[in-house]
Amino acid sequence: MTTYKFGDKIRLIREKKGLTLKEIAEKVNVTESLISQIERNKVSPAIDTLLKIAEVLEIDVEYLFSDYKIEKKVNIVKKDNRKKIYVINHLSLIDGLLVYLIPDNIRVMGNAIYGKIPLLGLGFKLIGNIPVSKKDQGNTLYLYYTAKEYIEKGYSIVIFPEGTRSRMGGMQKFQNGAFYLALDAKADIVPIVFDTWNFLRPKSFFIRERNIHIQVLDTIKYENIKDFSPKEISNLTKTKMIEALINIREKNMYNYNYSSFIEELKKELSSLLKNSK
């Protein structure tokens, strides 16, 4: 895996502009020590931190990665030229299989555990998906720009923004990476809601439910969100997905009583709607 080292570029530009570490740190709202470690290639900054540094230094973030282009020959033919990121909630191990029902040329940014499952794991690796593990926390930028380059080459990216399966069948906090990527790559967001929790619950291989419900929601087009912040896009997407999950559970028959789950989802929905005003 590639480890990005662009500290020298940041330091050189900072010094040319006559800025101190302290001045950069204050404008980016991080510690002076962190900026120093980034310049010495000791740490890899979070995506939002890097974007703020680039903004303060008045440089294109692409310049920092000009030495790390992925050279792969691919020829993708799509029915349209729209760039897409599929955003899906994560409830069960089976979700990693269901994504391949999407009628598109996809690459999945998913838990590295899928690469260890017999047969499925081999396919996960050979297809060229983007495995994510806790060991990769220092290489989040590598994963981010790998996904972006796939989009630029014509693939659509599948992301589970919760990062892990919901053990209680609800919807966990969304990480903002998918939504930074949507803005950066000028991509549409296609929310998809899976209700697979009781089919195969986390840390269980006992099938409790024969019914699996999947709903593809209306596409959130880039043109409609280009002036939003990643957090605002995250909240908009999650609001639509929670509404859909509530609707699915209220209208369908299950072997499990979801009433308490639905109430929790409605509380979170109310909070999201309140904060969006």
pLDDT of 79 reads 54
CB 215 within 8 A of CB 244: yes
Helix (H, G, I), strand (E, B) or coil at 220: strand
Helix (H, G, I), strand (E, B) or coil at 59: coil
pLDDT of 86 reads 97
What is the CATH topology of the domain spanning 7-64? 434 Repressor (Amino-terminal Domain) (1.10.260)
pLDDT of 138 reads 52
> Tokens 């692409």 label which residue?
62
pLDDT of 4 reads 58
pLDDT of 66 reads 60
pLDDT of 194 reads 94
pLDDT of 169 reads 82
CB 162 within 8 A of CB 142: no
Q: What angle do CA 151, 165, 120 make, to 5 degrees?
A: 65
Q: What angle do CA 236, 98, 172 make, to 5 degrees?
A: 40
Task: Please give the structure tokens belonging to residue 30.
Answer: 């991080």
Residue ranges, the chain, pLDDT below 70:
1-5, 61-80, 111-128, 133-139, 204-205, 277
CB 165 within 8 A of CB 93: yes
Q: What is the DSSP letter of 169?
A: S
pTM: 0.70
Nearest to 38 by CA among 67, 65, 12, 11: 11
Domain spans of the chain, in order of start? 7-64, 84-276
